[in-house]
Structure 1
């Protein structure tokens, strides 16, 4: 497997991004060594709040949420999925599979010894993050899902159909433009540039190109069986499970209903609707931080290891 690595200078001086990079080694199916990037801010003895991004963004999406939560005294961890941000990027589109992404992030989670986690996940951060919850339910204290799903081959929205067609047919994939179009507000030129930063040219975007076709929207898609098995675990997950979808996302509108109906932990908690479009982190970062702050405060006090 050939692996690309975005030069460090691409990440210098990004707007509202003062965070030091941290790296964890993982390995491809053929044994190729790669590294996954994450930021880890705030007191290390606090319960970790794990923020998982989706497509085609990176941890920069959470910059305002991170800053707000750290000010409130929390520990916040935000990784970049393989193929995104400062994480390494396999060069071939076929190097990316749904199960490969899950395996990489499972390895990352275990290597970083994360437990008692409060997860916030959006877009592919949910498709992968919820698989982590299903694999390690004992490691998670609570979950918040936003503008995401765990599909099992049952179809797609018109919004997703449009995104699928665009992502596969556009001669160039304009990442900053896509992020701007998926937010209710207009991003600044500096913010758009920060989303473009991980991708010096089209060679670095094979992961971003691949993600849309990996969503298991038909029975014939790979990972349908694995997602069905994950749902069986989620249907026994009785820790707090909150939906925080936005009010104007054309891709995942209405997707909160299945979680509220099927996950036991979603039955006795207060759900919320956030104002914004698909990339809700750009539209309502303060509300997300306040939601997570209140959720952590509601949990039993963390028992620290001796």
Structure 2
């Protein structure tokens, strides 16, 4: 496996991102560095926030200080192939199971417990699979614009077209894809920050393969296993969706209806696009902080 590593100089002077890099080795035969931000009191209850397609820990830059100031420990990993994490150079180096293994090794390396999980868009499938593997470590789940297929929708033509575009298009503009998912215009420096992990197209194998890895894994059996697990989840499950994201509109309803832990929770709709971290950082952070009040009082 050939591994690329984005030079740290690409990340100098990023706006609102003063967080020192931390790394965990999540490889087995080959060393593989996973980058993460760890911000807040080390002994505090952990809040693990996962980025979605195209993003990296920079996505949560405005939320991490708010969560930490509330007395929580904000932890935001960059998935392998994204951000400051190592980037295997071939799309064939990535799969759902590999992403899941890498995230689980990171989680276990920190020995985290009483975790509040914040997940977003299609990466929610990875996040929830991680909870399935380590259910006792998680206390609550907050799903933001989560894409959890209910029937055959993940095999719809539009999903296959997106996978084909991501895998084969000579043009894969990550910053512009982030911009398409926000209602506010990003600044030039913010767009540059989303482009920073990718000096050239060789570094984008993880980003290009992500949709395909999720789609190939999430066949009927896996979908049934996931919903069977969710329909037995008794701990708090909170949905936080946006009012201006056509791609996930209505996705909160089956989650609220079918997950026992969603009953009576303070579900909310925020004003913004797909990436609420960019459009509604303060409100999104408040949802997390309010949900974690039992941990803060402990």
**Which TM-score applies when normalising by structure 1?**
0.91
Structure 2: which 5+ residue stretches go unaligned?
A: none
Is residue 18 of structure 2 the alignment partner of residue 18 of structure 1?
A: yes
In 2, Cα distance between equivalents of 1:97 and 1:117: 25
Q: CA deviation at 1:151?
A: 3.1
Partner Cα separation in structure 2 for residue 93 and residue 152 of structure 1? 27
SS of residue paired to 1:39:
strand
Q: How many angstroms does 1:90 deviate by?
A: 0.7
Which residue of structure 1 aligns with residue 153 of structure 2?
155
Counterpart contact for 2:148–2:251, Cα < 8 Å: no
Whether contact under 8 Å (1:53, 1:124) holds in the other structure is: no
Distance of aligned partners of 1:105 and 1:275 in 2 relative to their CA distance in 1, 3 Å threshold: same
The CA deviation at 1:261 is: 1.8
Counterparts of residues 253-272 of structure 1 (less than 5 Å): 253-272=249-268
Query: Relative to structure 1, is the Cα distance of residues 162 and 284 closer, same or farther in structure 2, using a 3 angstrom cutoff?
Result: farther
1:244–1:272 Cα contact (<8 Å) kept:
yes
Q: Is the 8 A contact 1:24 1:111 kept in 2?
A: yes
**CA–CA separation in structure 2 for the residues paired with 1:179 and 1:159:** 18
Q: CA deviation at 1:101?
A: 0.7
Supply the distance in 2 between the matched residues of 1:148 and 1:165 (Cα, whole angstroms): 22
The count of residues paired between Structure 1 and Structure 2 equals 296
Name the structure 2 match of 1:222: 217
* Residue matched to 2:6: 6
Of 145-154 and 193-202, more deviation after overlay is shown by: 145-154
From the superposition, tell whether residues 287 and 74 of structure 1 become closer, same or farther in structure 2 (CA, over 3 Å).
Answer: same
Using a 3 Å threshold, how does the CA distance of structure 1 residues 152 and 83 change in structure 2: closer, same or farther? farther
SS at match of 2:48: strand
Q: SS of 1:9's equivalent?
A: helix
Aligned to 1:204: 203
Say if 2:51 and 2:59, in contact at 8 Å, map to a contact too. yes
Most deviating of 146-155 and 244-253: 146-155
Q: Extract unaligned runs of 5+ from structure 1.
A: none
Q: Measure the CA separation in 2 of the matches of 1:76 and 1:222.
A: 29
1:150-169 CA distance string (max 9 Å, x none): 33661247875664454245
User: Do the aligned partners of residues 274 and 13 (structure 1) sit closer, same or farther apart at CA in structure 2, a change above 3 Å counting?
Assistant: same
For 1:81, the equivalent position in structure 2 comes to: 79
SS in 2 for 1:64: coil
Question: 102, 120, 126: which one pairs with 1:104?
Answer: 102
CA RMSD, 1 decimal: 1.9
Q: Which moved more, 1:224-233 or 1:285-294?
A: 224-233
Match for 1:125 among 123, 128, 133?
123
Alpha-carbon displacement from aligned partner over 1:102-156 (angstroms, at most 9, x marks no partner): 1111111111101100111102431211111111111111110011223366124
Range with greater deviation from structure 2 (148-157 or 98-107) = 148-157
In structure 2, the CA distance between the partners of 1:270 and 1:159, relative to structure 1 (3 Å rule), is: farther
